[in-house]
Amino acid sequence: MSRRDGPAGPTVFIVDDDPDLRAALAGLFRSVDLATTAYASAAEFLNTKRSDGPGCLVLDVRMPGLSGLDFQAQLAGLGIHLPVILMTGHGDIPMSVRAMKAGAVDFLTKPFRDQDMLDAVMTALARDAERRSRDAGLLAVRTAYETLTAREREVFVHVTAGLMNKQIAGLLDLSEITVKIHRGHVMRKMAARSLADLVRMAQALGIVPG
């Protein structure tokens, strides 16, 4: 029921209190060469050390302790951004709408067809992969940004706003040469090979002149 999820591929995390369903799902995912790890409750999932590798969550709505919906609502706050697929045997429309509004990939009613679950998981894994590639690019930029001093960040903002060194000097009450120095430091620390690069980094960081 559990397999190593090395660099080979993503892991499907199953959280359901029904051992039979856990086994069935694990078998289903194994049939398409997906690694799986199963848990009987949300608490068990949270208390277990996991790699933070790629994957997705398959949650039962009705479980002892935290329900699948409540669990889903808490995931973002816990820093877990795995895409979620919900399953239920006794759901209703408001419940499914709430889950989808909260960003669930799918909301399946039991019994569901194997293919429907596989489709949902594939969609979830694709969504996770996309988020990870976005985050990976952003992490390097954020890390570099952290190394900037306060002054350098001010200059960074104005440079990427398109202001000339002279104008920035006026705004910050500095000499133009000082702005040039800071600007050079920003380019070096951010590993930007051109102003265009730096502007895109600012965009990714959500930095706006206003």
Partner DNA sequence: AACGGAATTATACGGAGGTTTCATCCGGGT
Partner DNA sequence: ACCCGGATGAAACCTCCGTATAATTCCGTT
Binding site for DNA (CB under 7 A): 149-152, 164-166, 172-178, 180-185, 187-188, 195
Please enumerate, as own/partner, the contacts of 160-168 that have beta carbons within 8 Å and a separation of 24 or more.
Answer: 160/198, 160/199, 160/201, 160/202, 160/207, 160/209, 161/209
- Look at residues 50, 45, 47, 48 and name the one whose alpha carbon lies nearest to residue 14: 45
Q: Contact between 159 and a second copy (CB under 8 A)?
A: yes
d(CA 89, CA 62) in angstroms, rounded, equals 8
Q: What SS3 class is residue 46?
A: helix
Q: Contact between 113 and a second copy (CB under 8 A)?
A: no
Residue 110 or 188: which CB sits closer to DNA?
188
Among 13, 39, 107, 156, binds a second copy (CB under 8 A): 107
Q: Contact between 193 and a second copy (CB under 8 A)?
A: yes
Residue 161 binding partner per list a second copy, DNA, none, with a CB distance cut-off of 5 to 8 Å that depends on partner kind: a second copy
Contact residues for 78 (Cβ-Cβ < 8 A; gap 6+): 46
Q: Contact between 96 and a second copy (CB under 8 A)?
A: yes
Region for residue 57 given its phi and psi (left: phi exceeds 0; alpha: psi -120 to 50; beta: otherwise) = beta
Residue 107 binding partner per list a second copy, DNA, none, with a CB distance cut-off of 5 to 8 Å that depends on partner kind: a second copy
Query: What residues make contact with a second copy under the rule CB under 8 A?
Result: 91-94, 96-97, 100-101, 106-107, 109, 159-163, 193-197, 199-200, 203
